[in-house]
Structure 1
């Protein structure tokens, strides 16, 4: 239990840090960003506000991950909550998972936009005025599918309660029906006679989540690499015409682009797909 208390403190500290940084970023975007930034200004604001909401939600949920055999659980302790009922916390937990799905869409969206800017695509007209907000709905759609899938297909089940009741009581000291709620796939159960019962709702749920992950995993690196190559090609062509300072700036942009691609792939796409 000491470990879970430590994790809770870390979540609170990092959430506060995230909120402060994104509030500062919001101020800089609104007050200091150049007009030439165009639609990307609203996209950055969208991401900053999303990160603030995600941080707050993460503190409310304070998830605990536990797995055993063919079962994977994201646990939320309900007995300490005075603000939300158990069912309300289940809904909040599903919204929290939906935010992860939304983040997958955001990664893809920002790299699509960056590529259009890099090549001067005529498709940039679809990001102007109110259309940018329609693009922003795509990640929300990803998140809605993710959260809805968790609520209907991998939410608490009698079979999971029966299997994990003693384990949860022994490991955490919690009553699985009264003290916690959870989401998580339960793929199959081996019966005493050796037969296997497959839970198809969990299988279908995980397949849907995999589809979202795969979509983001393909789009994000694809457009990031194309953007990188296009910018690099442009610099090589104009190398003699640009100053060393500008060249260094472009190199920094390249490195930032690479890191912004690798970090979510390593820390989010790959772990979520394992």
Structure 2
């Protein structure tokens, strides 16, 4: 089966690229950041650390995303692995991976709030000073913890295993009895009639709320930042200021689209369609791959769209090839980088 060959390649490549890219981001932020970056350096490093942990857990779990009629699952196949004899530990790994997802999307939203405050230039960056920065980080960890607790309630159950067993074996050659998973079965049969599974619905609504709050923050502050950047570009006092704000705009668009396309959209699609009886079995394989792509491209905008980081990265290869290096020229300006 082609997918059984492609899946480990994409997941392994996504993991390796993510580890390299996030380590590179942390190194560049520490060594090459302009002074005006302020506490945003710590937020970028924090997001890179969370992304690295997320990538590691995704690599270990190597999940299959699977939807069949009224069900949606994230499955870890245990057969012939070191986890086959410790399925509950493997289940906790899946829960931890899902919790990292909650931390990650909240950290992204916090980044957007910081960047808007910096563009706004009304002194509200003081809310990210000192110990207040730890409060923001704690908020993302709390979101991840609550997310994990909700996923703990939707572990393996006979009603789901029986529901997907035959089709999962047919589609993926995966034995549900030699796997662990988190999953939903929105509709179940009782006395020959379909009945809404209220427990799974409640978990869905809870997770949906936890995901929609940071999503709405990203959209709101992304749009407000776009308007602010557009205004600053049109009223910039120097070519440097205009170039800097255009650079910020490009990074903003990229870092908005990446989580929307590779995180929010596929997750929302996977969890919502089965609730309304829409069979999206055809999307199982693409969504599994999309998550791996996200891990690989998540850190790219910050490396290539911020001049200081891009030049430092490219100068390393120019030095190897003995080509002229590029220096970033710093001007005295009141405009902040983020």
TM-score clears 0.5: yes
Indicate the residue corresponding to 1:186 in structure 2: 185
TM-fit CA distance, 1:184: 1.1
Matched, 1:235 2:233: yes
Q: Deviations over 1:38-94 (max 9, x none)?
A: 111111110111111111111001001221110111110112321571100101101
CA shift digits 1:105-155 (9 cap, x unpaired): 012100101111111233321211122122111121121121211111x21
| Separation in structure 1 between the aligned mates of residue 230 and residue 169 of structure 2, nearest angstrom | 58
Considering only aligned residues, what root-mean-square deviation do their CA atoms show, in Å?
Answer: 1.9
Greater CA drift, 77-86 or 207-216:
77-86
Matching residue of 2:248: 253
Q: How does 1:1-274 map to 2 (within 5 A)?
A: 1-82=1-82, 85-152=86-153, 154-177=154-177, 179-191=178-190, 194-238=192-236, 241-243=237-239, 245-274=240-269
1:173 offset after TM fit, Å?
4.1
TM-score, normalised on structure 1?
A: 0.90
Q: Which runs of 5+ in 1 are unaligned?
A: none
Q: Point out which structure has higher relative CO (alpha carbons under 8 A, 6+ apart).
A: 2
Unpaired runs of 5+ residues, structure 2, are 270-338
The one-character-per-residue Cα deviations of 1:190-246 (angstroms, maximum 9, x if unpaired) are 34x5412322111001001110222122111111111221232233234xx312x44
Q: Distance in 1 between matches of 2:167 and 2:233?
A: 60
2:53–2:100 Cα contact (<8 Å) kept: no
8 A contact 1:22–1:49 mirrored in 2: yes
Q: Is the 8 A contact 2:160 2:184 kept in 1?
A: no
How many residues of Structure 1 are paired with residues of Structure 2 in the alignment?
268
Task: Please give the alpha-carbon distance, in whole angstroms, between the structure 1 residues aligned to 2:225 and 2:171.
Answer: 49
